């Protein structure tokens, strides 16, 4: 009889759990509510922003892909552009405190300040519960939530995984498209894409 070794069973089980987690937050479904603490030590609850468009940006300053989008001023540009349109932009860090990439709240806040970031808040998801609820796999990974509290987009920031900083500026930005279409009352043409970047260090 064919048997699967215990390590292989564990790997298969883990993969199944990951697949379930990644399917947990699909466009059209209610966005999982959460309460996290900001880098300034204040509570932030998603449902407090119901009635507004919300963007969740998974981030990790130790990731070269995150560095690329901030270095090109791509992420800050989006934050500023849509912040001016009353979109609530929340950066989420789901890095486990035991991982070398982990930054304490003050250090993470300082890094964002030096980049000229313009999000509403930076949230600490140290247990990874919110990241898993949204099926977040990479940094960056982006989620767009409608004023009704439903997901309208989940995936990559744009369509150029291997772009240089200059090419990043000319990429098709899925987040900008989802917000522009949604805010105009149009269907989101690309509601799901495969995220790229560094794996989240849960």
In a domain, 168, yes or no: yes
Average pLDDT value for residue range 89-99 = 98
Identify the pLDDT of residue 12: 33
**Residue pLDDT, tens place only, 145-165:** 999 999 999 999 999 998 888
Query: Residue 20 falls within a domain, yes or no?
Result: yes
- Range of 195's domain? 6-199
Phi, psi of 17 (to 5 degrees): -65, -40
Task: With respect to residue 1, please indicate whether it lies within any of the assigned structural domains.
Answer: no
Instruction: Answer whether residue 4 shows pLDDT above 70.
Output: no
CATH (domain of 102) = 3.40.30.10
pLDDT of residue 6: 40
Per-residue model confidence as pLDDT tens digits over 30-77 = 999 999 999 999 999 999 999 999 999 999 999 999 999 999 999 999
Residue 22 has pLDDT above 70, yes or no: no
Q: Is residue 21 scored above 50 in pLDDT?
A: no
* pLDDT for residue 101: 96
Q: What does the alpha-carbon distance between residue 169 and residue 155 come to, in Å, rounded to a whole number?
A: 18
Give how many domains the chain has, as a whole number: 1
For 48-140, list the strands marked E by DSSP: 54-58, 88-93, 121-124, 138-139
CA distance 122 to 120: 7
Q: Which residues are CB-neighbours of 188 under 8 A, at least 6 positions away?
A: 27, 144, 152, 153, 177, 178, 181, 182
State the chain's mean pLDDT as an integer: 89
> 143 forms bridges with which residues in the sheet?
56, 154
Is 120 a member of any domain? yes
Which of 142, 139, 138, 104 minimizes the C-alpha distance to 124? 104
């Amino acid at each position: 009889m064919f048997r699967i070794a215990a390590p292989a069973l564990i790997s298969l089980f883990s993969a199944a759990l990951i697949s379930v987690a990644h399917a947990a937050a699909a466009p059209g479904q209610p966005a999982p509510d959460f309460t996290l603490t900001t880098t300034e030590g204040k509570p932030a609850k998603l449902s407090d922003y119901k009635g507004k468009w919300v963007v969740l940006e998974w981030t990790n300053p130790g990731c070269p892909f995150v560095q690329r989008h901030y270095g090109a001023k791509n992420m800050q540009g989006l934050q500023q552009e849509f912040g001016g349109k009353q979109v609530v932009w929340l950066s989420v860090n789901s890095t486990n405190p035991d991982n070398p990439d982990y930054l304490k709240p003050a250090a993470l806040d300082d890094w964002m300040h030096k980049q000229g970031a313009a999000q509403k808040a930076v949230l600490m998801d140290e247990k990874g519960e919110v990241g898993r609820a949204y099926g977040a796999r990479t940094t960056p990974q982006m989620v767009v939530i409608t004023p009704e509290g439903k997901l309208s987009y989940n995936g990559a920031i744009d369509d150029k995984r291997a772009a240089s900083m200059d090419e990043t500026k000319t990429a098709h930005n899925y987040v900008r498209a989802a917000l522009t279409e949604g805010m105009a009352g149009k269907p989101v043409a690309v509601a799901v894409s495969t995220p790229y970047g560094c794996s989240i260090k849960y």
